């Protein structure tokens, strides 16, 4: 095996990326405090050709130097919108045929590895605040909660790590072959 050089990675330009068909997946960041987490999630969304990112509440918006540190330009390639409230975002998403999922440990949540069993073609995933998680009103307005099973003592993941896991699982469900 040999590590590939940058010029061998077949990276597309931002203009080419914007023209690509996107995975029908929208990531909604509800009151994320850390700008590093926001940037990291943008970069993950770029990697998996996610449709767009919605920023809600206190979540910072690009352009911002602290977001850029981890996004590495993904705020230029990935479409994004800002909403003051999750309700505004949910109303738009539902009117566009998206199934709403809160990523949260909750009664009746669906383990993320069972995402293939879900009957939906367009998904919106809400990721919550690093301390308080998803607001209960958002959970109430969601179609379901998805949960990453955990077996250690913490039962908590950094929101950007959580995003990577759920985006990968949902990408595999929704990608066009």
CA 138 to CA 87: how far, in whole Å?
7
Q: Can you give the pLDDT at residue 91?
A: 98
Cβ atoms of 41 and 161 closer than 8 Å: no
Q: Can you give the pLDDT at residue 177?
A: 38
Q: Can you give the pLDDT at residue 59?
A: 98
Q: Can you give the pLDDT at residue 176?
A: 63
The overall average pLDDT reported for the chain is 97
- The domains of the chain, with CATH numbers, are 20-174 (3.40.1280.10)
Provide the whole-model pTM.
Answer: 0.97
Among 42, 84, 79, which Cα is nearest to 59's? Answer: 84
**Per-residue pLDDT tens digits for 136-163:** 999 999 999 999 999 999 999 999 999 9
**What does each C-alpha distance from 127 to 10, 30, 55, 91 come to in angstroms?**
31, 6, 10, 17
Which structure tokens are listed for 5? 């050089």
Q: Is the pLDDT of residue 23 over 90?
A: yes
């Amino acid at each position: 095996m040999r590590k590939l050089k940058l010029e061998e990675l077949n990276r597309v330009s931002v203009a080419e990326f914007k023209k690509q068909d996107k995975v029908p997946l929208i990531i909604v960041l509800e009151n994320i405090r850390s700008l590093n987490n926001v940037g990291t999630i943008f970069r993950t969304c770029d990697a998996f050709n996610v449709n767009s990112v919605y920023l809600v509440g206190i979540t910072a918006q690009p352009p911002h130097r602290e977001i850029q540190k981890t996004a590495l330009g993904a705020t230029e390639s990935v479409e994004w919108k800002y909403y003051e409230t999750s309700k505004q975002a949910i109303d738009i998403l539902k009117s566009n045929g998206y199934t709403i999922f809160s990523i949260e440990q909750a009664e009746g949540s669906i383990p993320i590895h069972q995402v293939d069993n879900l009957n939906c073609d367009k998904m919106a995933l809400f990721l919550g605040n690093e301390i308080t998680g998803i607001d209960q009103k958002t959970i109430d307005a969601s179609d379901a909660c998805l949960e990453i099973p955990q077996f250690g003592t913490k039962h908590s993941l950094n929101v950007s790590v959580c995003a990577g896991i759920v985006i990968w699982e949902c990408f595999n469900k929704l990608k066009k072959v």
